[in-house]
Amino acid sequence: MEGLPNVSTITVKLMGGLGNQLFQYATGRALALHHRARLQLDLSFFDTYELRHFELGVYPLTAKIASRQDLARLRETPPHRHIGRFQWAKLRRHQQSVHFHVESSPYFDPGLNKLPLPLHIEGYWQSEKYFLDCRRILLAELSPKLPLEPENAAIANKISSTDSISLHVRRGDYASNEVVNRVHGIVPLDYYRRAVSLLEARLANPHIFVFSDDHEWVQENLHFSAPMTFVKTNNSDRGFRDIQLQSMCRHHITANSSFSWWGAWLNPRRDKVVIAPTHWLADAAGDDSRDRVPESWLRM
């Protein structure tokens, strides 16, 4: 069929902020490696969503940005929306069609890498189980291309000289938007107090580096006996630098946020201690963090 995309292409739709985009890229990259396929990024979400924009251009990615022509060719092919394993046989009869798969739950789907190509995926894919096998590759590709600016280099030097702990407080729309707050909620102060106490008892020279999108609130509400540095060198357009600085810390206290999840995951140290909230969503039923939080992390 003329104009069809190559059968060995995987297209991943990017959505949301930087942390979400990192999950989506990592999952697409792992799928492409598994299938020895080409990866392309669908940025059409950002055509109409003004609150977020594509933020992965700072990284040396192994992917092509899908052009409007590429996306038009996807839409021109007979669409098949995959909803379960019982439809695989039917979908495989259309090997030259693009197979569209939308994430159906927040839990890890072991069948994702069994779907036929060409494939277009849409979802958040918030589990390292999708891409843990290519961790070494991702650590290299998710290291920013440009060197640290002087103000960030100064913070990095301070991080390297102590038993550094990154502590992230996510507020923003979690606090200001009633609908978002009902879904995500805000991690209580008691969580941070308990997490800091646990690490202070283990470390000889703890120093807490606080990252947040609400600097005024954290300075008014976070008080610990260990030395603290409030990292305010980067605005929202340089969130990738905050993730990079978090990854340089020895240990981590994350929020219920993909932003600090990546700050902790990109730390290559094997002896790191990472503490994460037991519940990721305020309105979740059951153990909603079971696939989001790696098994080696402590949930509190």
Asked if residue 144 belongs to a domain, the reply is no
Residue 24 shares a structural domain with residue 69: yes
- CA angle, 253 then 257 then 259, to 5°: 85
Q: What is the pLDDT of residue 91?
A: 41
Q: What is the pLDDT of residue 44?
A: 96
Residue 202 shares a structural domain with residue 64: no
Q: What is the pLDDT of residue 284?
A: 64
State which of 95, 114, 136 marks the end of a domain: 136
Q: Which residues of the chain have pLDDT under 50?
A: 1-4, 78-95
**Non-local CB neighbours of 169 within 8 Å, separated by 6+ positions:** 187, 192, 210, 211, 212, 214, 217, 218, 222, 255
Tokens standing for residue 178: 């009633």
Residue 186 shares a structural domain with residue 103: no
Q: How many whole angstroms separate alpha carbon 246 and alpha carbon 258?
A: 13
Residue 42 shares a structural domain with residue 127: yes
Compute how many other C-beta atoms are within 10 angstroms of the C-beta atom of residue 69: 8
Residue 73 shares a structural domain with residue 200: no
Domain span at residue 203 reads 150-299
Residue 158 shares a structural domain with residue 211: yes
Q: How many whole angstroms separate alpha carbon 12 and alpha carbon 121?
A: 5
State which of 92, 111, 136 marks the end of a domain: 136
Residue 123 shares a structural domain with residue 192: no
Residue 129 shares a structural domain with residue 244: no
Q: What is the pLDDT of residue 129?
A: 98
Residue 102 shares a structural domain with residue 187: no
Residue 197 shares a structural domain with residue 287: yes
CB 132 within 8 A of CB 113: no
Asked if residue 142 belongs to a domain, the reply is no
Name the domain count of the chain.
2
Residues 178-237: pLDDT tens digits?
766 777 778 999 999 999 999 999 999 999 999 999 999 999 999 999 999 999 999 989
Asked if residue 156 belongs to a domain, the reply is yes
CATH number at residue 249: 3.40.50
Asked if residue 91 belongs to a domain, the reply is yes
**Residue 276, exposed/middle/buried by CB under 10 A (0-12, 13-18, 19+)?**
buried
Residue 103 shares a structural domain with residue 160: no
Asked if residue 4 belongs to a domain, the reply is no
Q: What is the pLDDT of residue 25?
A: 98
DSSP structure string for 87-137: GHHHHHTTTTSPEEEE--SSS--TTGGGS-SSEEEES----GGGTGGGHHH
Asked if residue 85 belongs to a domain, the reply is yes
Residue 128 shares a structural domain with residue 164: no
- Strand duo 298-299 + 228-230: pairing: unpaired
**Non-local CB neighbours of 241 within 8 Å, separated by 6+ positions:** 144, 148, 149, 152, 233, 234
